[in-house]
C-alpha cells in the first residue's frame, strides 16, 4: 500500500486525495466536452461540479460520522481526517444532488438535464477515487483464498478481497454503460436514473465482501449500505419504467 503517493518537502500528497482530484478533473473534462457538444453553458457545468464536489465531501464525511458516532465520540480530533478513509457515498451523493438542485434552480436550468450530463462523469470519477482507496489501504475486503487476494500490511497478514479494485472496475463498466445509454432516444432523467440503478446493484453485491459488513447489519441480514441501495434501486427502477415510452426532451442543440 502507498498512503502517501509522494512528498514535496514537508508537504505529503496522500494517495486518496490525489486520486480523488484526478477523478474529479477527468469527470469535469468529460462533462465540459459533453456540454459543449450539446450547446450548454460550459461555465455553468464547471460551477455546478465544484459546488457538488464540496457538498459531496462534506455530506459524505458527515453521514459517515453520524453512522459511526460511537467510534468518533472519544476521538473528536479524527473527524477531519478524511485522508484516512471514512466517507459515505450515499451521504455524499445526497448532498451533491442537493447542491446541484439549488444551483439549477438559481440558474433556471432543468436539474435532470444537469443530472444526465454529470452521471457518466460521476461514475468515472468514482472509479478513479476507488483506486485511491486501494493505495490508501482502506475499504478492504474479507479474507479470501483466491489467487488475487491482497495483503494489507497495516492490518494483518491475511490475503483479502481487493474490494476497492472491484469497485473501480464496476464503476468504470457503469461509465461505459451510461455512455451507451446516452445515445438512446430516452427522455430527460433516464441516464441519471440508470446510474442510480446500476450503482445500487453493484454496491449491494460488493457489500457482501467488504470487511465489517456484519457489524453494520441493520435488518433482514442487510447492511446500512445494502438497505440504502435497495431503496434507491426501487426508486430508480420505477423512474426508468415510467419514462420508457416518453419522447426525448429537447435541450442544448436539440438533445
Contact 125, 24 (CB under 8 A): yes
pLDDT per residue as tens digits for the range 215-239: 566 667 788 889 999 999 999 999 9
Q: Which residues pair with 159 in a beta bridge?
A: 151
Q: Which three cell numbers stand for residue 184?
A: 438512446
For residue 152, what pLDDT is reported?
85
User: pLDDT band for position 17 (50/70/90)?
Assistant: confident
Contact 204, 226 (CB under 8 A): yes
User: pLDDT band for position 77 (50/70/90)?
Assistant: low
Q: HSE on the CB side for 39, CA within 13 Å? A: 6
Nearest CA-CA partner of 131 in 12, 25, 17? 17
Q: Which three cell numbers stand for residue 246?
A: 416518453
CB atoms within 10 A of CB 234: 12
* Ranges of H-type helices in the chain: 15-37, 42-67, 69-72, 89-107, 111-136, 163-182, 190-206, 224-243
Q: Is the pLDDT of residue 85 over 90?
A: no
Report d(CA 113, CA 115) in Å as an integer: 6
User: pLDDT band for position 176 (50/70/90)?
Assistant: very high
Contact 209, 137 (CB under 8 A): no
Contacting residues for 136 by C-beta, under 8 A, at least 6 apart: 1, 3, 14, 15, 16, 83, 84, 85
Q: Which DSSP state fits 148?
A: T
The chain-wide mean pLDDT, for the chain, equals: 86
Report d(CA 60, CA 212) in Å as an integer: 18
pLDDT per residue as tens digits for the range 179-225: 999 988 889 999 999 999 999 999 999 998 986 544 566 667 788 88
User: pLDDT band for position 12 (50/70/90)?
Assistant: confident
The domain locations on the chain are 12-183
Amino acid at each position: 500500500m502507498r498512503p502517501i503517493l509522494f512528498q514535496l518537502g514537508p508537504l505529503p500528497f496522500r494517495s486518496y486525495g490525489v486520486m480523488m482530484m484526478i477523478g474529479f478533473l477527468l469527470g469535469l473534462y468529460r462533462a465540459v466536452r459533453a456540454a459543449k457538444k450539446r450547446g450548454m453553458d460550459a461555465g455553468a457545468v464547471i460551477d455546478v461540479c465544484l459546488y457538488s464536489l464540496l457538498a459531496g465531501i462534506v455530506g459524505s464525511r458527515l453521514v459517515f460520522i453520524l453512522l459511526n458516532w460511537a467510534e468518533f465520540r472519544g476521538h473528536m480530533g479524527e473527524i477531519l481526517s478524511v485522508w484516512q478513509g471514512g466517507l459515505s457515498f450515499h451521504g455524499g451523493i445526497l448532498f451533491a444532488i442537493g447542491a446541484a438542485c439549488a444551483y439549477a434552480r438559481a440558474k433556471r436550468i432543468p436539474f435532470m438535464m444537469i443530472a444526465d450530463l454529470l452521471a457518466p462523469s460521476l461514475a468515472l470519477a468514482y472509479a478513479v477515487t476507488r483506486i485511491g482507496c486501494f493505495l490508501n489501504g482502506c475499504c478492504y475486503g474479507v479474507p479470501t483464498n483466491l489467487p488475487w487476494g491482497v495483503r494489507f500490511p497495516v492490518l494483518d497478514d491475511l490475503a483479502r478481497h481487493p474490494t476497492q479494485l472491484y469497485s473501480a472496475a464496476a464503476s468504470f463498466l457503469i461509465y461505459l454503460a451510461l455512455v451507451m445509454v446516452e445515445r438512446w432516444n430516452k427522455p430527460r432523467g433516464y441516464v441519471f436514473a440508470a446510474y442510480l440503478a446500476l450503482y445500487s446493484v453493484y454496491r449491494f453485491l460488493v457489500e457482501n465482501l467488504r470487511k465489517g459488513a456484519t457489524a453494520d447489519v441493520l435488518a433482514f441480514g442487510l447492511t446500512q449500505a445494502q438497505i440504502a441501495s435497495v431503496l434507491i434501486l426501487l426508486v430508480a427502477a420505477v423512474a426508468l419504467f415510467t419514462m420508457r415510452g416518453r419522447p426525448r426532451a429537447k435541450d442544448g442543440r436539440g438533445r
